[in-house]
Amino acid sequence: MRVKSSATDATRIAVTDPREGVGLGTLQAALGVVAFSLTFPATAWGLEGIGPWSLVAVRSVLAAVIADCCLCAVGASRDRGRVRWRLPLPDRRHLPGLAVVGAGVVLGFPLLTTLALQTSTTAHAAVVVGLLPLTTALLSALRMGTRPSRTFWAAALAGAAAVLVFTVQQSGGSLTAADGYLFAALLVCAAGYTEGGRLARVMPGWQVIGWALVLCLPLTVPAAALALSYEPVRLTAHGVAGLLWVAAGSQFLGLVVWYRGMAAIGIPKASQLQLAQPLVTLVWSVLLLGEHLTAAAPLTAAAVLVCIAVTQRSRS
């Protein structure tokens, strides 16, 4: 009787798990979007007390320390007084993917967006980076052979068009050097998201970003030491808070739940949740930085939310 009951329970779990996994995956991806929405305001705060190169290098080192502590806490165990490592290291075949994650998410995107925010407002940067979902979906289709439906692509393009119109309106119809940094950031970040989402199917999402951060330490530690020796440091409450958030929240915790969400619901659908990120960032920009929004923001918000609803209901 017990064996039969266990088999029945196992069957029931197998049947109900996919739906629960999709719901949980959507929640995790949404939490990642909330974490990322604070990145630009936090970066602006961080730049009040530290230079751009120092900010990027130090945030990566701090995030790597957090990731290393998590890896050690899970991987190390005591057996008869001896410490043994039981967490498997990444396979060689996963190292190229982790390198792409490191180059795109750990190094490229933070550096390019930080350089852009020296001359651009967070509101303007947020709407430009609003094209990231479409860029990620395109790279995902090329890299992984996914074939989203026509409805999905129509809604995604409509959302991207709304973001573009809002961007041009915000910038007065002209593009700047900061926009060049931001468009380059889109490409490298989309590549990192795509590879990270692929790897999160074969290893836990937190390990994907954790190993990527640790593998970048040989570059980020010397870079942090060099940048700090050249750029002035002014410790302020905003500067410290901004640095801590982009290191712990944006660079590690946000990516942990983001990659888990992408593995559960798929890269194209997860990427479309990011259409809401620019608008959430605009709210943070007003609340934390005192920036002013234009009247177009509510209209763009409504259009983007409709696109998100359509992409989430479409079959990929």
Q: What is the pLDDT of residues 168-225, one digit of tens each?
A: 776 666 677 888 899 899 999 999 988 988 888 888 878 888 999 999 999 999 999 9
Considering only CA atoms, which of 295, 20, 3, 2 is closest in space to residue 170? 295
Report d(CA 270, CA 285) in Å as an integer. Answer: 24
Q: Tally helices (H) and strands (E) across the chain.
A: 16, 2
Average pLDDT over residues 107-131: 88
d(CA 290, CA 45): 12
Looking at per-residue pLDDT, the higher value among 44 and 304 belongs to 44
pLDDT at 259: 82
Overall average pLDDT of the 79-93 stretch: 67
81: left (phi over 0), alpha (psi -120 to 50) or beta: left
When the pLDDT of each residue in the chain is averaged and rounded to a whole number, the result is 81
For 85, phi then psi, to 5°, come to -100, 120
Tokens encoding 87:
């967490």
| 246 Cβ contact partners less than 8 Å away, ≥ 6 residues apart | 39, 42, 43, 46, 55, 59, 110
Q: What integer pLDDT is reported at residue 62 of this predicted model?
A: 95
Tokens of 207: 């390990």
- 75 vs 84: CA distance, rounded Å: 8
Could you tell me the pLDDT band of residue 16, with boundaries at 50, 70 and 90?
very low
Residues 209 and 66: their CA atoms lie apart, in Å, by: 11
How far, in Å, CA of 312 to CA of 270, rounded?
9
Q: What DSSP designation does 89 have?
A: P
CA distance 49 to 84: 41
The answer to whether the CB of 66 falls within 8 A of the CB of 247 is yes
Q: Report, as an integer, the average pLDDT of 145-166.
A: 80
Residue 84 backbone phi and psi in degrees, to 5: -120, 145
Per-residue pLDDT reduced to its tens digit, 253-311: 888 888 888 888 887 777 778 778 888 888 898 899 888 777 777 677 777 778 777 77
Average pLDDT for 127-145: 79
Neighbours of 103 (CB within 10 A): 18
Q: What are phi and psi of 86, to 5 degrees?
A: -115, 0
Among 224, 25, 264, smallest CA distance to 107 is for: 224
Cα–Cα distance, 188 to 210 (Å, whole number): 18
When pLDDT is cut at 50, 70 and 90, the band that residue 19 belongs to is low
In our burial notation (b when 16+ CB lie closer than 10 A, e otherwise), range 109-146 reads bbbbbbbbbeebbbbbbbbbbbbbbbbbbbbbbebbee
Alpha-carbon separation of residue 303 from 13, 151, 153, 162, 172 (angstroms): 38, 15, 15, 7, 21
